[in-house]
Amino acid sequence: MSMTVDDVVSRSGDHGHHDHHDHDQEGMKILGFWIFLVSDCLLFATLFATFLVLRTHTAGGPTGKELFEIPGFTAETFALLTSSFTSGLAVMEMRRGNVKRLIGWLIVTALLGLVFVGLEIDEFVKMVSEGATMQRSAFLSAFFTLVGTHGCHVTLGLFWMTAIMFQLARYGINAVTQRKVFIACLYWHFLDVVWVFLFTVVYLMGVM
């Protein structure tokens, strides 16, 4: 679903009262968001670095190998990766100008995101009930913080997407809502990419 800033901007010409000046503004907001994602990448990189330093510091407590359950994190991965695909379908429907399908695919995306968050909460609850809390060891502090930060990002994305769905229902597809959908989906793909690293570094390397 490759869509550039220019695509979004050039397609927003014939909606409402927005003149040439406003296109620049929508494009500029997308650029700003890309730069924000750079800084968010660094935030996650720092958390990853912390995790990698502390992953062996289990202080006699449970290790990743004992805690992580393959079916659980595999299901999470499927839910999130599929949701990234469906958010791409949403952007495609937006380009076709079909607002109902756009909202439909966003709902599917949000539901898959909800499944992901639900599975993650379930995983956390199980671990805590087994005594693997973030107070137990430095490894677990780093684990809950890294995975939890990603989970918080996903949760925030769900609220955000919901707010945009209401705006789409109200205003339809115009330059502003188009930019909003595009940025929210960009964010969603970004979370997906971060998850791929989480899946590899935390879970796969943890169970191996």
Partner 1 sequence: MSSIKDFASHFFVTGDPLIYGADVSIVLVSLAIVFVLTYYKKWGWLWREWLTTVDHKKIGIMYMIAALLMLFRGGVDALLMRMQLAWPNVHFLKSEHYNEIFTTHGTIMILFMAMPLIFAMMNIAVPLQIGARDVAYPYLNAISFWLFFFGAMLLNLSFVIGGSPNSGWTAYPPLSGLEFNPGPGENFYLLSLSISGIGSLATGINFLVTILKMRAPGMKLMYMPLFTWSVLATCIIIIIAFPVLTVALALLFIDRLAGAHFFTMAAGGNPMMYINLFWIWGHPEVYIVVLPAFGIFSEVVATFSKKTAFGYKSMVASMMLISVISYFTWLHHFFTMGAGADVNTFFAISTMMIGIPTGVKIFNWMFTMYRGRIRLTLPMLWTISFIPCFAIGGATGVMLAVAPADYQYHNSYFLIAHFHQVLIGGVVFGMIAGMYYWWPKMFGFKLDERLGRWAFWFWQIGFYVCFMPQYALGFMGMTRRIYTYPDGLGWGPLNFVSTVGAFLMGVGFIFQVWQIVYSIKYGERDLTGDPWDGRTLEWSIPSPAPHYNFAVIPHVKGPDAWWTMKQEMKKEAAVKVDPAEIKPIHMPKNSGRPFIMSVFFFIAGFGLTFNWIWMGVFGLAGVAICLLLRSFEYDTDYYIPVDEVKRTEAALGRL
Residues 6+ apart with CB under 8 A from 36: none
Rounded-to-integer distance, Cα 33 and Cα 48, Å: 22
User: For partner 1, which is the closer residue by CB, 75 or 201?
Assistant: 201
Rule CB under 8 A: say whether 40 interacts with partner 1: yes
Residues 6+ apart with CB under 8 A from 136: 59, 61, 62
User: For partner 1, which is the closer residue by CB, 79 or 164?
Assistant: 164
Residue type, 202: V
Min separation Cβ 28 and partner 1, Å? 5
Rule CB under 8 A: say whether 169 interacts with partner 1: no
Q: Which stretch binds partner 1 (CB under 8 A): 30-38, 113-121, 124-132, 190-198?
A: 30-38
Instruction: Report DSSP state, residue 61.
Output: S
Binding mask 91-130 for partner 1 (x = CB under 8 A): ----------------------------------------
User: For partner 1, which is the closer residue by CB, 27 or 88?
Assistant: 27
For helices 138-171 and 175-197, the axis angle rounded to 10 degrees is 160
Element (H, E) at 34: helix 20-54
Please pick, from the candidates 32, 97, 118, 131, the single residue that binds partner 1 as defined by CB under 8 A. Answer: 32
| # residues near partner 1 by CB under 8 A | 42
Rule CB under 8 A: say whether 137 interacts with partner 1: yes
Q: Which stretch binds partner 1 (CB under 8 A): 37-45, 63-71, 114-122, 123-131?
A: 37-45
Rounded-to-integer distance, Cα 147 and Cα 202, Å: 9
Min separation Cβ 70 and partner 1, Å? 25
Rounded-to-integer distance, Cα 69 and Cα 83, Å: 22
